[in-house]
Amino acid sequence: MEEIRCPFCGEDVTEAISPDALLTCPRCHVVLLLTSDEDEGEARVRNAVSGAQNIDTDDVQVVVVKGVTTRDGHHLHLIAGWNPEETLRVPDVASILGVSRYQAWRYCTTGAFPNASKGRPSRRHYDTGIWLIPRKDVQRFLLTGRRSERREDDENY
Ligand SMILES: [Zn+2]
């Protein structure tokens, strides 16, 4: 049996997911659906994300992984959907990337997330405000940033 992993963050959701039931990824909170009907499934995912995020269904980003083998041997499609403009905070990003909060904050301050911005100062973060990171920047980092970061590490050691 193959593992079923969240296409966004790579979390193993094999045990948590069941066919035709919407699941929120416990790690990165994208909407996941395992289904035989790709078109209907995509529509369900788009509707779920647009309702939760209050955005147009056309603005939902969807990824379809075809032919996922389930525990009982069925071949289904895994559909993931999210709002690329959703604002994440440092603890969310740390969890998704599997790094410390300090490391996630460092990524913000060093420009690893090009569209990250400082929110308004709060009581707890009165001097600086908190970092607001669009999900699309975290996605881009997952796809490209890790590799360049590793190269830098290689140069340092
Ligand atoms: Zn995930």
Per residue in 50-102, pLDDT (tens digit) is: 999 999 999 999 999 998 988 788 899 999 999 999 999 999 999 999 999 99
Using the mean position of ligand 1's atoms as its centre, give its distance from the Cα of residue 148 in Å: 22
Using the mean position of ligand 1's atoms as its centre, give its distance from the Cα of residue 80 in Å: 9
Using the mean position of ligand 1's atoms as its centre, give its distance from the Cα of residue 156 in Å: 31
pTM of the model: 0.86
Question: What average pLDDT score do residues 22-46 get?
Answer: 97
Using the mean position of ligand 1's atoms as its centre, give its distance from the Cα of residue 128 in Å: 29
Q: What is the pLDDT of residue 157?
A: 41
Using the mean position of ligand 1's atoms as its centre, give its distance from the Cα of residue 46 in Å: 16
Question: What average pLDDT score do residues 26-52 get?
Answer: 97
From the list 85, 74, 93, the residue with the least C-alpha distance to 131 is 93
Residue 150 has pLDDT above 80, yes or no: no
Mean pLDDT in the chain?
89
3-state class of 52 per DSSP?
A: helix
